[in-house]
Amino acid sequence: MSKIKPLLPALIAGAIGGAIIVSFISLISPAFLNSPVQSLSPTSFKTNQEISLSPQEKLVIDAVDLANPAVISIVITKDVPIFERYSSGDPFGDLFGDEVFPFFGPFQFNIPQQRQRGTEKQEVGGGSGFLVSADGFAVTNRHVVDDDKASYTAFTSDGKKHEVEVIAKDPVLDVAIVKLKDRGPYSFLTLGDSDKIKVGQTAIAIGNALGEFKNTVSVGVVSGLYRSIVAGNGFGESENLDQVIQTDAAINPGNSGGPLLNLAGQVIGVNVAIASDSQNIGFALPIDTVKPVIESVRTQGKIIRPYLGVRYTTITAALKEKNKLPVDYGVLVTRGETVNDLAVIPGSPADKAGIMENDIILEVDGVRLDDQNSLATIIRNKSVGQTVTLKILHRGDRKTLTAKLTAAPE
């Protein structure tokens, strides 16, 4: 199984150039190196010849020109301990005295030690983001700005430095909303419609590649839709990412939080993770999933998420067979691993609607729950106070219930 890891803030690199040179030289074959030099006549090529761009290239260039001013490179700074080396001297003092080693004098041990001598601010990583309003609100990944002990600054494409305030971090999605403290107005991106994207359409990624190469552009296609993955950061922490977009546009550590664009320069996703043992397999959160987060922060000052209040397991063909279920789609309402992880949260909208443990939720507002339509994503895209219609199986009988969504408990 491929290892999926978030695009963690890229550590500041120092030896990239050498690696590029070595890779380049290795592509030159010995046959070419030993071949005689061929002279070029003046007619072998034309100078000052205009290169005509294809319609596709023009669209990409226009999209990048439109988006670049609104893409930010985020720099992470933190107080880092300073250590100095010192020697502990002679641990035995004059135990042996000069008479033991009369020629060399007293016997000495110099044991190197380290001790902390204060701290200093250092750049420890970098990520990306993009502006979504003229007054400086921007989207990035939660894991880019998750360290409360770090400080963050942003660079826009014109090279200007801006102080950054972290406004809200989503506990469910790997998304955070930050704000540039300087007064605008700023250029900002238009949010597209990720529900309408197609596999094979052009995808453009822009970001702070490796935390060093600001506003790096890469172009590919949408490789897949509705992927569900588990992303780990290499430190034993992981997160479930649901219904994400797969792309082969090259994205790297440091691209975290940068936009995935269509040819109109509209945001269709937020770059979030890569498959570490593969080539050009990256993932982005669909922008339609992120839109409610942006709107909530803009209007409420914090992330307010709609809430149904059930624990569940997605039904698959294998689960149907194992548990002798009557359907191979929907979600089975079931308790968690401990006795306190109740299947239906008391007092929740699901509880008030009459949903019970072992019920199967088949549809929400007429949308069948399957591998392309998860319950979490559907509820996430609703609004607090909205009433949803649920089709369920209760002890073999099909029922229709309604539930009024409330704000998720903090």
Interval 234-269: pLDDT, tens: 545 667 788 899 999 998 888 889 999 999 999 999
* Whether residues 269 and 330 fall in one domain: no
Q: Which of 387, 365, 394, 391 is nearest to 378 (CA)?
A: 365
Identify whether 108 is part of a domain.
no
In the chain, what is the straight-line distance between the N-terminal and C-terminal CA atoms, in Å?
Answer: 35
Band of residue 372 on the pLDDT scale cut at 50, 70, 90: confident
Question: Which among 300, 320, 348 is the end of a domain?
Answer: 300
| Residue 395 to residues 326, 333, 346, 351, Cα–Cα distance (Å) | 10, 12, 21, 17
Q: Residue 277 is part of which domain span?
A: 194-300
- What's the total number of domains in the chain? 2
Residue 358 and residue 393 share a domain: yes
279 with 350, same domain? no
Residue 162 bears catalytic tag: no
195 is catalytic: no
* Pair 227, 289 in one domain: yes
Find the catalytic residue in 170, 174, 242, 248: 174
CB-facing half-sphere around the CA of 289: CA atoms within 13 A: 24
- Asked whether residue 48 carries a pLDDT value surpassing 80, the answer given is no
- List, in order, residues 6 or more apart from 180 with CB less than 8 Å away: 72, 131, 136, 138, 154, 162, 163, 164, 186
Same domain, 224 and 292: yes
Residue 33 within any structural domain of the chain:
no
* Given the residues 256, 296, 348, 359, the one annotated as active site: 256
Q: Is 143 a catalytic residue?
A: yes
Q: Which token pair is 265?
A: 């320069």
Q: Which of 247, 276, 300 is the last residue of a domain?
A: 300
Number of Cα atoms under 13 Å in the Cβ half of residue 58: 5
CA 180 and chain centroid, separation: 20
Nearest alpha-carbon partner for 285 in 240, 241, 324: 241
Task: Supply the DSSP symbol for 278.
Answer: S
Q: Does 344 lie in the same domain as 317? A: yes
Residue 47 has what DSSP assignment?
Answer: S
Residue 53, domain member (yes or no): no
Number of H helices, E strands in the chain: 7, 21
Given the residues 73, 128, 143, 359, the one annotated as active site: 143
Is 135 within the bounds of a domain? no
Phi, psi for residue 308 in degrees, rounded to 5 = -100, -45
The domain boundary, picked from 265, 282, 300, lies at: 300
Does residue 4 sit within a domain?
A: no
What does the pLDDT look like over 176-227, one tens digit per residue?
999 999 887 999 999 999 999 999 999 999 999 888 889 999 999 999 998 8
Q: What is the CATH number of the domain that holds 351?
A: 2.30.42.10
pLDDT of 285 reads 95
Query: Considering the domain boundaries, does residue 383 fall inside one?
Result: yes
